[in-house]
Every structure is written in C-alpha cells, then in structure tokens.
Chains A and B, each alone.
Chain A
Amino acid sequence: MEIHRFEKVWIAIALLLIVGFIATIAYGALGPGVKMVDASGGTIDPEAVAAGESGTAFDDPGVRQTGPNEYDVYVVARQFQFAPGTSQPIEVPAGSTVTFHITSPDVTHGFNIAGTNVNTMVIPGQVAELTVDFDETASYGIVCHEYCGGGHHTMEGTIEVVPQAEYDGPGGS
C-alpha cells in the first residue's frame, strides 16, 4: 500500500488533533470539573407529576435552601411555561450554588439560561439535574429550546440573581 509522504504527515497531524480534542474534554471533566447532565436525577412518573401526586418536591416546585449558600430549585416545565420561572421569576442570591432539578409532566422541553452554558433537555420520565454557581447579580432569561407544541415560542421565564443583602429567602419570590 502506497501512501504519499505528505499524506502520512497529514494523517499524523489529524490524529494529533483528534487526540488533542479528546484530551481537552478529559481535562475539562477532571480539571475545572465540568460535569455532564447524567442519570443522577433518576426517573419519575410523568402522570404523577401532572397530577401533583408524585410525592416529591415537584408537587410544590420552587426554591429551597439546603446550606449556607446552597439552594435546590425544583422546576416543572410544561406546555408552555416554567413553574417557577414564567409567572414569577426564580430568585436566588448572588454568590450561591444552585442545583436545578427539572422535569416535565407532558412533552419534551428544553431549559436554557439564554447566552450561558446552563442547558439541559427536559424529558418526561427523567429528572434533569445541574449545578450552577451564580457569582454576580444579574437578570437572565430562560428559554425552552425544544419544540414542544404550537405555543412553543411563548415558553420562557426569568431568573433574578439578587444581592445577598436583598435576598429574603426562598419564600420571598
């Protein structure tokens, strides 16, 4: 089998590039600790969520404090709103670490804090979990980025990251 000298060099560079890409991702996981959305949220019966009888925090979704600067936020994404998020904003203090738990009682949705890498699919039967550090005060938009029916383009919400001093607890919003 004859392979031209230049092509051998090209193949070597290509393989180096590929291994390099894989290395950056391995580093991202092991170094800065970028974690993928995975199976840690477990499964849930979507019809029970729809009925508000799942026996979980999704029956009364919202913000819960779990530590000095740590919060859990339970969000139900349904046609065509986030609860909480759409009719009232999700409010958390700056400098907090927030774990989102998101599920859907109807069809597949998306949950993306627009312009950031906070991004997950919301699949009925599964609970998506992702942990986010909110370092600074800001107002973010949440969009549903997966087509979920005729009113999909109206499905949106907001997150308000307020100064520590002004935050009056999970019940405040």
Chain B
Amino acid sequence: MAYVDDYPDAAKVVRANFGVAFAALSIGGIFGLIQAVHRTGFFRGLINSTDYYTVLTGHGVLLALVFTTFFIAGLFTWGVTNSLERSLPNPRLTWSWFLVMLVGTILATVSILGGFVPELPLSADVLFTFYPPLQASPVFYVGAALLIVGSWIAGLDWFLAYWGWRKDNDGERIPLQTFMVLTTMIMWYVSTVGVAVEVVVFLIPWSLGLISEVDPLLTRTLFWYFGHPVVYFWLMPAYFVWYTILPKLAGGRLLSDTLARVVFVLFVILSTPVGFHHQYVDPGIPEGFKFIAMTNTMFLLLPSLLTAFTVVASMEHGARQRGGKGYLSWLWKLPWDNPAFSGCALAGIMFAAGGFSGMINAGMNINYLIHNTLWVPGHFHLTVGTAAALTFMAVSYWLVPQITGKRLQHRTLATVQPYVWFIGMTLMSNAMHRAGLAGVPRRTAEPEYNVVDATFPNVVGGMGEMQLQIVLGGTILFVALSMFMTVMIGTWLAERGRGTLSVNSHLPPALSGPESSPRVLDNLKLWAAIAIVLILIAYGPPLAGMLGDGIFAPGTPGFPV
C-alpha cells in the first residue's frame, strides 16, 4: 500500500503544498537566470537595472520563503502522519493553514510583481530582508505576515496530532520524525516572534501611515533575530531527510537515534541567540553583544559536525550491507544511480563546503573582508540553495510517487539531474566566493562600478573569468531545475495504477534505537525554556539599549520604493 492509500487526506495536503512549492521554485528559478545574465553583463536587454531589484526581491522571497515553507509544510505533514501512523486531527484546520499561507503568498507575490508596473501603487522592491526605511506597499507586509501566521497554525496542527497520539501511547518515546518536526517548530515559534513584531507592530502601521517613523536599527535587529534561525528552518528539514530517509536509500539504517535527537535539541537551544552575527559591522551595537553571538554561532557548528559524522557513517553502513569493502571503496557500492540518494549525498557534500565558508562568515574579524560581498550569496547558495533545495528535490523523487500513487516518470532525466545541479552550483558558487574575496559587492545590478573597476582585476583569472563561471553555472542550474520540473509534471500527470510503486514510506529503525537514549531528550518544554533563557541573555540588554530612547527613535520616515 502506498502512502496515498493509507492517508488519502494527508496525501492531498502534501500534494497541495508541494504544488505551490514547485510553482514558486519555477518562477524563482527563472528570476535567478535573469539575474545571472544581467549582473554579469552578458545580456541586459530583458530588464533594466532598476527592475533588477524587483527580480531579486522575487527570487529571494519566492525561493527562500515560499518554496521552502510550502515544501517543509508538505514534508512535515507526511513525516508526522507517517511516523505517528495517524491522520492529522482536523481537516478544516489543516486546509485553513494552507489557505492562510497561500493568500499571504499571493499578496506578497502580486505586490512584488507590481514593481514592474510603476503606474500601480503596488511595489515591494525591498529585497527579502526588507530593511526600513525602504518602504514597500502594505500588501507586501500583510502577505509576509500571513505566510508566517499560516506556518504557525500548521505547527499547531502537528502538535495536535502528537498530543492525540500521546493520549493513546502513554510513556512511549516520541517517534524520531515527529520529534524532529516538533523541535523544528519550537525553534520556529521562538524565532519568528522577532519578524512578527517587526512586521505587525512597526512595518504594517508605518506603511499604512498610522505611525510616521520607525527606528531602522531596531527593526533590522528584529529581522535578524529571525533571519538566522530561518536558515535552520530550511536546514533542519534537510537534516530530517538525511537522518531518517537517506540511511534507508543507502541500503542501511541510521546509526544513532540518540545523537539525532541531541542534534535537534542543540538547534532548538542555539539557533536564535546568534542573530547579531549578521550585524557584526552594524553601528549602534556594542562589541560585547557581537562577541556573545559569535561564541554561540561557533557552538552551533557542533550539531552540523555531529550530523556529518552520523550521516556519513550511516551511508557507510548501508554500503557495507550492499557488499562494500575497504576504507573508501565502499563508496562505489552506494546507489549513485538513484536520484533520491545521489541528490541527498551531493547536497551533503556541498553543505560541507558551505559550512566552511560559513565558518569564515562567523569569524567576527575576518567577516570584515567579506561582509555584503558576493561571497555571502556564494555561501548561502550552497546551504539553502543546495543543502536544502537539492535535498528537497531529491526527496521529491522518492516521495511524490507515494503521495500521488504514480510511478516516477522520465527516470533518466531524474538520474542525471542532481549531478547537473551539482556541476552548475560548483561553478557559480566557487566564482561568487572568489569574487567576494576580491571585493565585488552582492545585491547590485551592475557590479562593475566603473570608477572602481581597477580594484577588481588583480585576482586569479580576473573578473571576466569569474563572470563567465557565474553565468555558466546559473544557466546549468536553470537547466537542472527544468529537468526536475519535467520529471515532476510528468509524474503528476501520469496515469495511476500502472504497476506497483518501487518505493514505500516504511523506515527501518536506528541501529542504536531510542531505548538507549536518555528520556530527558524528549522533554520539549525544558529545551524551549533553555532556548528562551539564552535569548533573553543575548538579546535582552541590547534591545533594552535600543528601546531606551523610545521605540520609534532615532526614527525615520519611509522611503517608498
């Protein structure tokens, strides 16, 4: 029996979420290609340089916020129902969060696209960080708020399913997938408070003219209170896949249930009190608070380093089950022709590279050299753009057949696709990192800056070579995205019932199961409380300092875009 037969209602919810996610991915991907050819100067005929920022806002919002949130909502709905072996409790509640998220997405998207039509009073060329005093249409802020509120209700839905299960299973350990969903959502609740306050208390009233001024540093700080944990909101679902599905795809079992839980607990505790590492070079924030955030950030390396060990060890276990031998030659026994496996594995390799560039970002003093240069998008295209996005695509090859009951179509395309993505991202991200080191800024339509062009060429290969790699890489990534969409649309439109599926949602238990892990790990209230205490320490004094001169001061009026 496929998942769709066991849980037809939940499968429908997962399909709806994936549908929106893939639509956002397609539009965001087209925007990405336009940016790659425009900013490298290969072709600037499609848009003018002012519209570049409309495209850039669309790329960031549709991929980093919409694609991820909807895909995660679908993935978690599957994970909760599959691991608790029960449907979500209240279909009306479930569809209400989907609709709230959808309406929010439509409002935000319409407002962003309004930037192409200057005659319309809709515009949101504020990029996905929307720093005031740049001011978007209220429609954009309301849309963003609804997307987040919808995700909160989705979390409630999963908690309700868990509480229902708990009533019938007193004393049992929380199933691992549900544990991961709940810890991710606790992290999400704690961290989205920042952006919710920013948008609801300040930006919506300000864009409606109800308040005249906002404090740019305060709102920016509230954004980054949320802006770093959001990357873990993208990453923890990828870890969820690597811990619970990838070992099976590799042919084995997860090594340790305990360490998987420890990793997710560490993320709950440490994800939020780190936001100042995005503000290392902000004036108005005393150095001591930056140092505290830096220390927390460095300790946040621990769960990722633990994950590297467990995931590689679980893959090795799988390979040895398949007859793998030797120190490294077991690698050849892994199912590299299965795109669900290869996509996750390649995403993991790229995440390691992204982790290293992240260590540079986290290094408070070296950060001066790369802050807001092209290095930074080079970094996060490895993390959210590959560790999360390629894992999501890979798991779709495995999960979409199960939520539709249809066999995967265009298998050859699917088999090749993760490698194409990997090659494209290697070219693009490598060149972006190097260009950033040379001082090329991010977030600009025309990075050549005529006056300062002389500063850039004294790097290996020169600007021309890096621009070429970026445009080539971006184009290859777009090809990989088109291949993915061809497979998905083909599968979605295929006939049901032609042969049985070759995949199922049964997941083998860990080699070292939950019975040997301390029960305190399942004490979600404890971890949430510790997280809140750490946040109060990291954010209490600096926020008090910023609020000390009045919540709207030093204030500025809006500068509509």
Contact = CB atoms under 8 A, between A and B. Distances in A.
A127 B220 contact: no
Interface string A135-153: 0000111111111111111
B163 interface: no
22 contacts: A2-B516, A18-B301, A25-B365, A36-B364, A37-B282, A38-B287, A39-B286, A108-B216, A110-B372, A119-B369, A121-B279, A123-B282, A125-B556, A126-B282, A129-B283, A143-B439, A145-B441, A149-B561, A150-B561, A152-B444, A153-B444, A156-B449
Given A37-B280, A121-B372, A153-B445, 11 more contacts: A2-B256, A7-B310, A7-B313, A34-B365, A34-B368, A38-B285, A38-B290, A106-B133, A123-B284, A145-B371, A147-B134
Interface string A25-38: 10011000011111
Nearest to A28: B365
Contact of A24 (B282, B363, B561): B363
A159 B89 CA distance: 65
A21 B359 contact: yes
B166 to A, nearest CB: 23
B482 to A, nearest CB: 29
A170 B441 CA distance: 29
A140 B310 CA distance: 48
A126 B286 CA distance: 12
Contact of A123 (B49, B217, B255, B438): B217
B439 A112 contact: yes
B299 interface: yes
Given A21-B363, A123-B217, A141 B283 contact: no
Contacts of A126: 216-217, 282-284, 554
Given A1-B258, A124-B554, A156-B452, A7 B309 contact: yes
Given A24-B363, A150-B561, A10 B305 contact: yes
B216 A123 contact: yes
A163 to B, nearest CB: 19
Nearest to B445: A153
Interface in A61-106: 79, 106
Contacts of A145: 371-373, 441-444
Contacts of B256: 2-4, 7
A36 B287 contact: yes
Q: Which 6 A-B pairs have the closest CB atoms?
A: A141-B452, A125-B554, A115-B439, A117-B368, A128-B283, A150-B50
Interface string B268-283: 0000000000011111
B452 A114 contact: yes
B365 to A, nearest CB: 4
Interface in A1-26: 1-4, 6-7, 10-11, 14-15, 17-18, 21-22, 24-25
Interface string B71-109: 000000000000000000000000000000000000000
B306 interface: yes
A47 interface: yes
Contacts of B215: 125
Nearest to B459: A115
Nearest to B518: A1
B255 A14 contact: no
B43 to A, nearest CB: 16
Interface string A41-75: 10111110000000000000000000000000000
A153 to B, nearest CB: 4
Interface of A: 1-4, 6-7, 10-11, 14-15, 17-18, 21-22, 24-25, 28-29, 34-39, 41, 43-47, 79, 106-108, 110, 112, 114-129, 139-154, 156-158
Nearest to A141: B452
A25 B443 contact: no
Contact of B554 (A29, A45, A112, A140): A45
B454 A139 contact: yes
A121 B281 CA distance: 6
Contacts of B504: none
Contacts of B481: none
Given A2-B516, A129-B283, A149-B561, A141 B451 contact: yes
Interface in B533-561: 545, 549, 553-557, 559, 561
A25 B364 contact: yes
Contacts of A108: 131, 133-134, 216, 220
A18 B554 CA distance: 37
A56 to B, nearest CB: 13
A43 B302 contact: no
A42 to B, nearest CB: 9
A4 B554 contact: no
Given A106-B133, A124-B556, A150 B309 contact: no
A1 B517 contact: yes
A43 B284 contact: yes
A150 B258 CA distance: 51
Nearest to B258: A1
A22 B365 contact: no
Given A36-B290, A153-B444, A156-B452, A124 B302 contact: no
Contact of A158 (B217, B359, B451): B451
Contact of B559 (A107, A141, A144): A107
B368 A149 contact: no
Contacts of B305: 10-11, 14, 17
A3 to B, nearest CB: 7
B299 to A, nearest CB: 6
Contacts of B187: none
Given A45-B554, A152-B444, A37 B561 contact: no
Contacts of B286: 38-39
Among A29, A34, A121, A142, the most chain B Cβ lie within 10 Å of the Cβ of A121
Given A25-B364, A151-B50, A39 B306 contact: no
Interface string B298-329: 11011001100110010000000000000000
Given A29-B365, A120-B281, A125-B555, A153 B259 contact: no
B313 to A, nearest CB: 8
